[in-house]
Amino acid sequence: MGFATTLGRPGSGPESERGHGIRVLVVDDSLIVRSAFSRLIEQEEGLVLTAAVSNAEDALQLLVTERVNVILLDLEMPGMGGLDALPKMIQRAREAKILVVSSHAKDGAEATVEALSLGAADTLQKPTGGFDQAYREILVGKIHALGRKPLRRAAKSATTPETPPPALRPASRQRARVLAIGASTGGIHALGQLFGTLPRNLGIPILVTQHLPQSFNEAFRNQLQDVSGLPAVAAEDGQVLLPGRIAVAPGDAHLTVVPSHSEHVIKLDRRPAPSGCMPSVDPMFASLAMTHGASALGVVLTGMGRDGTEGAMELAEAGGTLLVQNEASSAVWGMPGSIARAGLASAILHPFDLAARIASAAGVGSA
């Protein structure tokens, strides 16, 4: 099997001509899309087009010999589809981050959520009205964020001494009575790892804010329910927090908690958040600082930006505990890294290990 469909020979010209950069592989059966993505990558400073191929079989063959940092993957292609190929790509290119760029990203919510749960780092809908400047900026921003070297790896290759790990904050001594989890880029895969390890008898309410369009919410809740073995419901105004139930923030509102008589209930907040995210982790954490204080446990998984940091400051000030995902296992160490560098985290761990810490904080044994 050759690379007759490749735009630009694998491993040739661009890197040697323009220097080292983020190496990108485009996998799409549309010649128009391959051509547009290839031009965009070749024109962008810091990006290198490794190859553009029309099918997953060629991509897998190329990954045997070529190193890539980011893969732009279509899901619907002749032969082996993107969903079938995705786990094989992750196995062959362990350091590569996969960005699903597909029409399925809007219309096929279940397929997209499945791709994200299998390990794709992020998703973006194919443009419907052409590759305008706004779309180019979004796509390029995602490629740069996913292809950025982890800080520790960059430090090891630099001449300056390695940055010391962030200081850890003592955890609350109170038993956790509510668990709130925030995530963004790469979060669905990390949530699968976390909930797949978390005991089902945790016995406390669980709140989840994942940056995701509203159209994906139902498919996302179904995926959470399958992996956790717990009911996962859409958060609604006035909904009582119940032990052993996962409440998921909608795509168009922040999930916050307020007191109501002797209970705590959900209040959806649609006001803009400082981070600009909708939904945002900040209002969720800030509300728990007021309602639960030292008995609140906040967890931040992989994600771009710093959403969650301001809310984490309020939660920490109220005596609550923050746990974050480590850099090595994160698709993007933006959100968890921001909290860790602020000295707010009591642990910086892989999602598997975070599950054990959560169980301990809730006063139950691990799974």
CATH number at residue 289: 3.40.50.180
User: What pLDDT was estimated at residue 338?
Assistant: 98
Whether residue 199 is preceded by a cis peptide bond, meaning omega within 30 degrees of 0, is no
**Looking at the domain assignment, is residue 155 inside a domain?**
no
* Domain shared by 218 and 339, yes or no: yes
Question: pLDDT, tens digit, for every residue of 146-171?
Answer: 998 654 444 344 444 567 889 999 99
**Looking at the domain assignment, is residue 190 inside a domain?**
yes
Neighbour count for residue 91 (Cβ, 10 Å): 11
**Looking at the domain assignment, is residue 70 inside a domain?**
yes
**Looking at the domain assignment, is residue 226 inside a domain?**
yes
Statement: residue 203 has pLDDT above 70 = yes
| Sequential DSSP letters for 183-232 | E-TTHHHHHHHHHHHS-TT--S-EEEEE---GGGHHHHHHHHHHHHSS-E
Nearest to 287 by CA among 252, 309, 312, 270: 312
In angstroms, the CA 215 to CA 30 distance is: 25
What distances in angstroms separate CA 221 from CA 212, 227, 229, one per listed residue?
11, 10, 11
Confidence bin at 110 (pLDDT 50/70/90)? confident
* Domain shared by 182 and 134, yes or no: no
How many distinct helices (H) and strands (E) make up the chain? 14, 14
More confident residue, 256 or 129: 256
| Sequential DSSP letters for 30-48 | -HHHHHHHHHHHHHSTTEE
* Domain shared by 220 and 130, yes or no: no
Domain closes at, from 134, 149, 164: 149
User: What pLDDT was estimated at residue 152?
Assistant: 45
* Domain shared by 227 and 349, yes or no: yes
User: What pLDDT was estimated at residue 151?
Assistant: 45
* Domain shared by 139 and 249, yes or no: no
Statement: residue 334 has pLDDT above 90 = yes
Segment 320-326 shows an average pLDDT of 98
* Domain shared by 247 and 313, yes or no: yes
* Domain shared by 224 and 299, yes or no: yes
User: What pLDDT was estimated at residue 109?
Assistant: 81
More confident residue, 365 or 229: 229
**Looking at the domain assignment, is residue 7 inside a domain?**
no
* Domain shared by 196 and 137, yes or no: no
Nearest to 310 by CA among 337, 338, 331, 291: 338
Q: To the nearest 5 percent, what fractions of the chain are helix, strand and coil? A: 40, 20, 40
Neighbour count for residue 343 (Cβ, 10 Å): 11
The number of distinct structural domains making up the chain is 2
User: What pLDDT was estimated at residue 215?
Assistant: 87
* Domain shared by 237 and 122, yes or no: no
Q: Exposed, middle or buried by CB within 10 Å (0-12, 13-18, 19+), for 211?
A: buried
Nearest to 334 by CA among 187, 175, 157: 187
**Looking at the domain assignment, is residue 8 inside a domain?**
no
In angstroms, the CA 185 to CA 242 distance is: 28
The mean pLDDT value of the chain amounts to: 90
User: What pLDDT was estimated at residue 132?
Assistant: 86
Nearest to 48 by CA among 21, 68, 26, 11: 21
What distances in angstroms separate CA 159 from CA 156, 293, 328, one per listed residue?
8, 43, 21
Question: H or E segment at 127?
Answer: none
* Domain shared by 111 and 220, yes or no: no
Percent of all residues in the chain with a pLDDT value above 70, rounded to a whole number: 89
CATH number at residue 134: 3.40.50.2300
Q: Can you give the residue range of the structural domain that contains 108?
A: 14-149
* Domain shared by 184 and 145, yes or no: no
In angstroms, the CA 62 to CA 206 distance is: 43
Are 189 and 87 a contacting pair, CB within 8 Å?
A: no
Catalytic residues: 184, 211, 307
* Domain shared by 235 and 190, yes or no: yes
**Looking at the domain assignment, is residue 157 inside a domain?**
no
Q: Which two tokens stand for residue 344?
A: 């707010």
**Looking at the domain assignment, is residue 56 inside a domain?**
yes
User: What pLDDT was estimated at residue 150?
Assistant: 56
Strand-pairing partners, residue 98, are 71
Are 151 and 327 a contacting pair, CB within 8 Å?
A: yes
The position carrying tokens 């007191």 is 259
Statement: residue 270 has pLDDT above 90 = yes
Are 221 and 233 a contacting pair, CB within 8 Å?
A: yes
In angstroms, the CA 245 to CA 241 distance is: 8
In angstroms, the CA 362 to CA 174 distance is: 9
